[in-house]
Amino acid sequence: MRLPYTAVFSVAAVAAASSNSSNSTYINPVLPGWHSDPSCTYVADHMKLFCTVSTFSTFPSIPIYYSEDFLNWNLASNALTRLSQAPLLSYTTFQSQNDGLCAPAIRYRNGTFYVITSYVSIQPTFTARGLLFKSTDPFDEDSWGDPLRFEVGHIDPGLYWDDDGTAYVSYAGLSQQTLDLETGLRVGQYRIWNGSGGRLPEGPHIYKKDGYSCLLAGEGYAGNPILTNKNITEYFQTVGHADFFQDVNGKWWGACLAIKSSPEWVNYPMGREFVLFPVTWSEGEWPILEPERGRMIGWSLLSPAANSTFTVFPEDHPSSLQIIPSQSNLTGSLEVPSEIAFFGRRQTHTQFNLTLDLHFRPEAAGEEAGITLFLTQYQHIDLALIRSDTSKASTSGLPVRLSVQAVNETHYHLTAASVENASHVLDFGFAPATVLFGGTGSFTGTLLGMYAMINGGTGGMPAYFSWWRYTGEAQQIDNGGLIA
């Protein structure tokens, strides 16, 4: 959907309240917006929970989040911040937004953090390559060095140490091998479980409990499986790809993904989100997992650097972000691969209001800047200022105020106005959220961001974005149920 102007953005918010000393209430998702395939480890040395999620083709990659209470989150670092760490993570190799780094698993042992993942390419043939990142200080982005590269049998590698210190890697299809964490050498290969006979078992995690090595795995690609509970009408769907951890009190918890769609799977522009659930795991018993809902009762809860494309606070435009336009447009459809000048973040509220000022004076045909609601290169909604091929007059260059309101889970309302005369509003109507889920983006969720491009032309006027004003209005947590 192309409009004369563009706008959209988003931010995360989580509410919680303690009910008593033995349990707590909280709201899911604890990390709203696209945060698929979460993996977590609680580190008593830091008194914090550390988690990571899939990033696929976005960069920087593999965010390391931390929280002291499991509800309020901060970004410690990104494990991958330099393309030299993973040369395959490049616009020259991507065929879709489902390629890239998926389902990382984070673990901590003897003062070192380990993040194991795979680089996945779906087209033209499916391939998976293993990567192991290490750091002794997750708050120092530079501490994540070049990863150890190793051959992996499939997606979703998981890391586990036996009592004698032997490290094992397991992966989808549920095979396992020993892994030398210094050389990447793998020894042996054996199937540890064939699955239930349905779809490919994936996302394996192994835990030592009561003298046993216990396997947690998923089936159905985080879709709704054939085997499920009886509550098939729940608002949270496709619950899966879980990981367990223990808090400082020894209580078990689980993190997994879910979409907010009801069984119809009609509207879920935020994609797979990070939800938290308590686990009861008594000695000698199987774990009991609480069903995923918007309101939960659980155990007691304890700026980008400037570069050639992006410049924060340029001298001639204070309090602005300058974006130099890319040759390629948002479809990335040039014959010669080119980067896309896009800076964004996840949509994290069902309902929100956003306004943003754009100062842009396009002089050549095809120059364009604005905001996009971006799922994939084939599925996005843009509100932008663009110079047409036939325009003869020079634009005024006066700043334009772009606005987007997510009025409900099905529609976005887009408007624009002059910053100098905000009462004169251009109303572009409503854009359907159906553009922003499924299709080519079934593994991801909506990113809200700014972009500038010349559509293969010869221009190059920078765009300046300023005065972000975002208000998260409401989060839908069940059918018809909204919380502020």
The domain boundary, picked from 249, 277, 299, lies at 299
- Bridge partners of 236? 260
Distance from C-alpha of 187 to C-alpha of 93, rounded to nearest angstrom:
30
Co-location of 287 and 314 in the same domain: no
- Weakly modelled stretches of the chain, pLDDT under 70: 1-22, 90-96, 198, 221-231, 303-307, 333-337, 390-396
Q: Could you report the per-residue pLDDT of 168-222, keeping only the tens digit for each?
A: 999 999 999 999 999 998 888 889 998 887 678 899 999 999 999 999 998 876 5
The domain boundary, picked from 299, 322, 342, lies at 299
Domain span including residue 274? 20-299
User: Is residue 5 a contact partner of residue 413, using CB atoms and an 8 Å limit?
Assistant: no
Q: SS3 helix, strand, coil % of the chain, rounded to 5?
A: 5, 45, 50
Pairing state of beta strands 2-3 and 379-386? parallel
Given this model, what pLDDT does residue 304 score? 43
Residue 321's alpha-carbon distances to 386, 460, 476, in angstroms, are 19, 16, 32
CATH number at residue 461: 2.60.120.200
Given this model, what pLDDT does residue 90 score? 65
Co-location of 207 and 345 in the same domain: no
> What are the DSSP calls for 262-311, one per residue?
TTTT---TT-SEEEEEEEE--TTS--EEPPP-SEEEEE----PPP-SSEE
Question: Domain for residue 218, yes or no?
Answer: yes
Co-location of 322 and 264 in the same domain: no
Question: Domain for residue 412, yes or no?
Answer: yes
CATH number at residue 105: 2.115.10.20
Q: Could you report the per-residue pLDDT of 106-161, keeping only the tens digit for each?
A: 999 999 999 999 998 877 778 889 999 999 999 999 999 999 999 888 999 999 99
Distance from C-alpha of 156 to C-alpha of 174, rounded to nearest angstrom:
10
What string of H, E and C letters represents the secondary structure of 404-436? EEECCCCEEEEEEEECCCCCCEEEEEEEEHHHH
The domain boundary, picked from 299, 333, 354, lies at 299
Predicted TM-score of the model (pTM): 0.79
Co-location of 218 and 317 in the same domain: no
Distance from C-alpha of 151 to C-alpha of 186, rounded to nearest angstrom:
8
Distance of CA 351 to the CA centre of its chain: 19
Co-location of 345 and 280 in the same domain: no
Question: Domain for residue 169, yes or no?
Answer: yes
User: Is residue 116 a contact partner of residue 179, using CB atoms and an 8 Å limit?
Assistant: no
Co-location of 291 and 395 in the same domain: no
Question: Domain for residue 3, yes or no?
Answer: no
User: Is residue 302 a contact partner of residue 43, using CB atoms and an 8 Å limit?
Assistant: no
Given this model, what pLDDT does residue 111 score? 96
Co-location of 334 and 469 in the same domain: yes
Question: Domain for residue 2, yes or no?
Answer: no
Co-location of 139 and 74 in the same domain: yes
H or E element at residue 49: strand 48-52
Report the candidate in 160, 300, 133, 119 with the shortest Cα–Cα distance to residue 244.
160
Co-location of 101 and 162 in the same domain: yes
How many structural domains comprise the chain? 2
Question: Domain for residue 63, yes or no?
Answer: yes
User: Is residue 241 a contact partner of residue 45, using CB atoms and an 8 Å limit?
Assistant: no
Question: Domain for residue 11, yes or no?
Answer: no
Distance from C-alpha of 268 to C-alpha of 128, rounded to nearest angstrom:
28
Question: Domain for residue 9, yes or no?
Answer: no
User: Is residue 95 a contact partner of residue 122, using CB atoms and an 8 Å limit?
Assistant: yes
Co-location of 194 and 225 in the same domain: yes
Distance from C-alpha of 421 to C-alpha of 32, rounded to nearest angstrom:
35
Co-location of 394 and 357 in the same domain: yes
Co-location of 164 and 90 in the same domain: yes
Given this model, what pLDDT does residue 229 score? 52
